[in-house]
Structure 1
């Protein structure tokens, strides 16, 4: 049975509880945004009561919550009405009023997690703090599925249910899945990033990065970690420059090796990578973009990987010049030039060559076949990352 019309409920409240009717009108307009009451979920009600109401709506918040509860109860939505009058809601609203936004937001997040209707992160998708329309639709759909499962009284695996709801073809999406929709939205947003030169370079990757990149073996890293797991590596040995760079990557970038006096020993992280080729691939390719602290360095690395993954074979000077043109077009300072680019670009090429993903010397830089896939995997992971608020600090 569909939920009653909001206008009819407000008319009834004006007759039965005129002192609360106007507050109920304000609250329900914020809650529904003009949509039918039957579209409201438990997540909607909780987010309104515990976040939107105290931070965005003026007036007596406890009275507004109580008035909304009366309207929802009048409409037969007793379970949602109970949330409006619950001790949890009262406590959260008073926490905002007494201790401020940070404390109130913390209380809201803890209470929301306790409801069980907040979709968890799954291996295929980490939810963004800033959601586009497709991701918001997926989040709402998964939350509604969790709510119904909880109401059924059966014990549920929230991660498994969320993942199934995301990955299964949906009739309402024309046979598509929510996961494909979210990935497509994120890829499109990534392509339309800063600067026309970067957009032109990134455009072909919107299709190329949609499907997952299969993991590949990394023989050089595997050999090094296997040796370290069976016996410590004496530092006094003078390996080749390539072997030395690989040791540095394994020790400093991956945390897979640890200095112990005059030797290198394998760490728990190194053993984890040895146990799982998939994890070794994901961690090594993630190193190329996801572990970069500075936004400028990230732009340099991203542009270089796109140029190299596009099949380009160029000299270090040519690569430097092309990357400078692209990141300069993204709005970085006018002085951006080869000197600014050299350090992050050199670090990237060093990691690629150490992992046997690229060949580089004074004349040419080019990816190996495995390096080509590694570049695509790194770009895909970067493009599909969740959007987060950036702290001004």
Structure 2
């Protein structure tokens, strides 16, 4: 960091010892506190390792949660560390230690854990050195692998340098957009000539994590698929036609008043009837009574809800901010979003859908009963169990789990349906294959969480 550049002539250890000696002359007890705080901050690796992000994380999280003492001592430890940074001629770090924000966050932790986490998140997000998510590039995971963690810390240091250089001014108008732009450029640029970008390394790490399986059945599939989904699939020529139901519902929700709902908060009969007429959704009577009568209607609503595009307002569906962006989006953007939502959000349905799509893409036997048996084997190998018995999920229940994906494939017209007993089974259309590849890629590259196995 720029604040340390003045130390090049002497070692950081010499500077630290001089600062501690000066503190000891002023107040021996203060020097002891500063030494303990500094060693905790740097893990004994010296002042050269300190970053503003690391210091803030220590002040706003590690100090109040790992140092078991009262608020007064927490504040005193922060202040003595600030005095030490003052002597080291690192004013920005000294200011962070004694800032009103630091005092507020420390106080919040002593009010309760929830208050502490809320204050921590607010302070970090406002600091300017917390790497932001960048739309269509990267959402940081709650759980990070080594490559992602390294990229996160490097990005935090890069944002700090941008602040020091005057390219980023936290709190100023438009600063968050500037932070996203700086972060996106940093992640997508090679760190050295001929090397992968940090984003590419994160993608490789996430792909490897996704492909790692506990069971042999899923492992065989991911081994065949991983290389195919490393690069994005091209947008199919008929993508807009396949997206027509989604585009229609988003357009309806964007009108004044939104989409009318029944008293039970299902789509109004007139809306369902219009969908049946537009998209030839099959009805037994020709006059659907409700959304529940038409699988395509409630499947479409589920899909749009998973996109985060709509919310209920009394007895209407209206667009969220994300929905407004999607309603205005071009074909490529909307197709990418819908493809990513092809795999249901529910963990068990999502796990089943992954296997079904991989079976389609690897040209495995794709008759319904063969698929169901293969999905059952793969899910059992991954540790999925029925909730009551504790035994592997029964094959009939797996069939229900597969249904969510099949309804979405039908809604978007992505399947060649079986028409005779001689037909080996349903097959994805060319557009369906591209959509499946995009869905699996999005699944593999999604942010990591601490969610485990189970059903």
Give, in whole Å, the separation in 1 of the partners of 2:230 and 2:213.
17
Residue 161 in structure 1 maps to residue 182 in structure 2: yes
State the Cα distance separating 1:272 from its structure 2 match: 4.0
User: For 1:311, what is the secondary structure of its paired residue?
Assistant: coil
The answer to whether the 8 A contact 1:312-1:366 is kept is no
The answer to whether the 8 A contact 1:92-1:104 is kept is yes
The answer to whether the 8 A contact 1:117-1:146 is kept is yes
Residue 64 in structure 1 maps to residue 116 in structure 2: no
Q: Which runs of 5+ in 2 are unaligned?
A: 169-174, 253-269, 284-293, 312-316, 386-390
Paired position in structure 2 for 1:381: 442
Paired position in structure 1 for 2:200: 180
Residue 46 in structure 1 maps to residue 56 in structure 2: yes
Paired position in structure 2 for 1:261: none
Give, in whole Å, the separation in 1 of the partners of 2:156 and 2:74.
25
Paired position in structure 2 for 1:283: 337
The answer to whether the 8 A contact 2:383-2:392 is kept is no
Q: Quickly say closer, same or farther: Cα 1:367–1:221, change in 2 above 3 A.
A: closer
The answer to whether the 8 A contact 2:215-2:382 is kept is yes
Give, in whole Å, the separation in 2 of the partners of 1:56 and 1:279.
45
Moved over 6 A (4+): 225-230, 265-268
State the Cα distance separating 1:100 from its structure 2 match: 0.9
Q: Quickly say closer, same or farther: Cα 1:18–1:7, change in 2 above 3 A.
A: farther
Q: Quickly say closer, same or farther: Cα 1:353–1:103, change in 2 above 3 A.
A: same
Q: Counterparts of 1:104-123 in structure 2 under 5 Å?
A: 104-123=116-135
Q: Quickly say closer, same or farther: Cα 1:163–1:105, change in 2 above 3 A.
A: same
Paired position in structure 2 for 1:82: 95
Residue 211 in structure 1 maps to residue 231 in structure 2: yes
State the Cα distance separating 1:308 from its structure 2 match: 1.3
Residue 201 in structure 1 maps to residue 255 in structure 2: no
Give, in whole Å, the separation in 1 of the partners of 2:201 and 2:431.
28
The answer to whether the 8 A contact 2:108-2:116 is kept is yes
Give, in whole Å, the separation in 1 of the partners of 2:207 and 2:85.
40
Kindly report the root-mean-square deviation, in angstroms, between the aligned alpha carbons of the 2 structures: 3.3
State the Cα distance separating 1:81 from its structure 2 match: 1.6
Residue 250 in structure 1 maps to residue 304 in structure 2: no
Q: Quickly say closer, same or farther: Cα 1:355–1:117, change in 2 above 3 A.
A: same
State the Cα distance separating 1:325 from its structure 2 match: 0.3
1:332 to 381, 384, 405: 384
Give, in whole Å, the separation in 2 of the partners of 1:174 and 1:39.
27
Task: State the Cα deviation string for residues 157-183 of structure 1 (Å, max 9, x = none).
Answer: 111111000001111x85221100111
State the Cα distance separating 1:284 from its structure 2 match: 2.3
The answer to whether the 8 A contact 1:313-1:366 is kept is no
Task: State the Cα deviation string for residues 76-112 of structure 1 (Å, max 9, x = none).
Answer: 2222122112222122112111x11110111111112
Paired position in structure 2 for 1:32: 42
Length, aligned pairs only:
382
Give, in whole Å, the separation in 1 of the partners of 2:134 and 2:58.
25
Q: Quickly say closer, same or farther: Cα 1:76–1:190, change in 2 above 3 A.
A: same
The answer to whether the 8 A contact 1:195-1:329 is kept is yes
User: For 1:95, what is the secondary structure of its paired residue?
Assistant: helix
Paired position in structure 2 for 1:262: none
Task: State the Cα deviation string for residues 211-236 of structure 1 (Å, max 9, x = none).
Answer: 22233233544455677869x87728
Q: Quickly say closer, same or farther: Cα 1:43–1:174, change in 2 above 3 A.
A: farther
The answer to whether the 8 A contact 2:109-2:115 is kept is yes
Give, in whole Å, the separation in 1 of the partners of 2:37 and 2:272.
69
User: For 1:364, what is the secondary structure of its paired residue?
Assistant: coil
Task: State the Cα deviation string for residues 240-280 of structure 1 (Å, max 9, x = none).
Answer: 549x654443344326999xxxxxx9979599457521233
- State the TM-score, normalized to the length of structure 1: 0.85
Give, in whole Å, the separation in 2 of the partners of 1:12 and 1:224.
68
The answer to whether the 8 A contact 2:141-2:447 is kept is yes
Residue 308 in structure 1 maps to residue 355 in structure 2: no
User: For 2:227, what is the secondary structure of its paired residue?
Assistant: helix
Q: Which runs of 5+ in 1 are unaligned?
A: 259-264
Give, in whole Å, the separation in 2 of the partners of 1:267 and 1:50.
37
Q: Quickly say closer, same or farther: Cα 1:32–1:101, change in 2 above 3 A.
A: same
